[in-house]
């Protein structure tokens, strides 16, 4: 919350950028406040990240079940292809479907963020000790009980690491959202590049970097809180 409070200090940012770029008439983007841009950026990131987790994790679980084993190569290839597509290209393709706005940006970021979550899930379940799974089966656990009581708790650290990597990647890549009217911290960057204003570009770039650090730190703390047994074994 302290860092979000820093984004609300519009005058402080204006003074700092004014010192860095004294020749700029307007060193800070004034059409919208920095805090408003940050909230837009977070909204796009959270929306795309929610879709990634909602769809990517069940796909990874399904591909590691006997019924979905044949689906695994196709899934791995598909998510890898999704990340090789430049987000800008996906934005252009999404324009006829969604028009200008955040929806196309969320779709592009969703495709871009799938790989870490799916790959993390696949690796997490593949690395589970066979003897533990055999013991759970010997205790009479159904496949669903074994998944929820044994497999997911053991796989959770690797799954959370994939989610963390995906969300930070989505947040950083969300700077392309303004190209289709999606808003966010890419807005001053795009505007600054259009009018050769390094103050605008620096404002957006520094804010994105700080927000990425905040997100990574927060998710790392959440990861430690959800897997306290991992710290005890290190």
Is the pLDDT at 60 greater than 90? The verdict is: yes
- Is 231 inside a domain boundary? no
Which residue has better confidence, 191 or 88?
191
In sequence order, the 6+-apart residues with CB closer than 8 A to the CB of 131 are none
User: Tens digits of per-residue pLDDT, 200-229?
Assistant: 999 999 999 999 998 899 888 888 887 776
- Is 161 inside a domain boundary? yes
CA angle 171, 172, 177 (to 5 degrees): 75
- Is 47 inside a domain boundary? yes
- Is 234 inside a domain boundary? no
Is the pLDDT at 74 greater than 70? The verdict is: yes
User: Tens digits of per-residue pLDDT, 166-203?
Assistant: 999 899 888 988 888 788 999 999 999 999 899 999 99
Is the pLDDT at 1 greater than 60? The verdict is: no
In sequence order, the 6+-apart residues with CB closer than 8 A to the CB of 190 are 178, 179
What average pLDDT does the chain have?
86
- Is 192 inside a domain boundary? yes
pLDDT at 200 (0 to 100) = 93
- Is 232 inside a domain boundary? no
Place of tokens 């306290």: 228
CATH number of the CATH domain containing 86: 1.10.3720.10
For range 2-7, the mean pLDDT: 74
- Give the number of domains in the chain: 1
Is the pLDDT at 6 greater than 60? The verdict is: yes
How buried is residue 110: exposed, middle or buried, by Cβ count under 10 Å (0-12/13-18/19+)? Answer: buried
Is the pLDDT at 57 greater than 60? The verdict is: yes
In sequence order, the 6+-apart residues with CB closer than 8 A to the CB of 40 are 102, 182, 183, 184, 185
pLDDT at 115 (0 to 100) = 86
User: Tens digits of per-residue pLDDT, 126-158?
Assistant: 888 889 888 888 888 888 889 988 899 889 999
Is the pLDDT at 99 greater than 80? The verdict is: no
pLDDT at 177 (0 to 100) = 87
CA angle 208, 51, 69 (to 5 degrees): 125
pLDDT at 52 (0 to 100) = 94
Range of the domain at 20: 2-226
pTM exceeds 0.75 for this model: yes
Percentage of residues in the chain with pLDDT exceeding 90?
35
- Is 27 inside a domain boundary? yes
């Amino acid at each position: 919350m302290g860092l979000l409070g820093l984004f609300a200090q519009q005058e402080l940012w204006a003074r700092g950028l004014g010192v860095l770029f004294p020749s700029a008439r307007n060193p800070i983007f004034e059409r919208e406040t920095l805090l408003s841009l940050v909230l837009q950026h977070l909204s796009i990131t959270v929306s795309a990240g929610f879709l990634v987790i909602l769809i990517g994790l069940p796909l990874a679980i399904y591909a590691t079940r006997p019924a979905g084993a044949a689906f695994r190569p196709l899934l791995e290839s598909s998510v890898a292809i999704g990340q090789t597509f430049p987000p800008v290209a996906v934005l252009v393709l999404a324009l006829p479907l969604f028009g200008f706005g955040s929806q196309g940006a969320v779709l592009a970021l969703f495709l871009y963020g799938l790989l870490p979550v799916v790959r993390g899930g696949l690796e997490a379940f593949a690395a589970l000790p066979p003897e533990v799974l055999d013991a759970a089966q010997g205790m009479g656990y159904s496949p669903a009980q074994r998944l929820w009581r044994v497999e997911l708790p053991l796989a959770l650290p690797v799954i959370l690491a994939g989610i963390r990597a995906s969300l930070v990647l989505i947040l950083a890549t969300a700077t392309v959202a303004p190209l289709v009217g999606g808003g966010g911290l890419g807005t001053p960057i795009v505007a600054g590049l259009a009018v050769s204003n390094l103050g605008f570009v620096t404002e957006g770039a520094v804010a994105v970097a700080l927000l990425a650090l905040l997100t990574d730190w927060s998710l790392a703390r959440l990861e430690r809180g959800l897997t306290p047994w991992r710290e005890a074994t290190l």
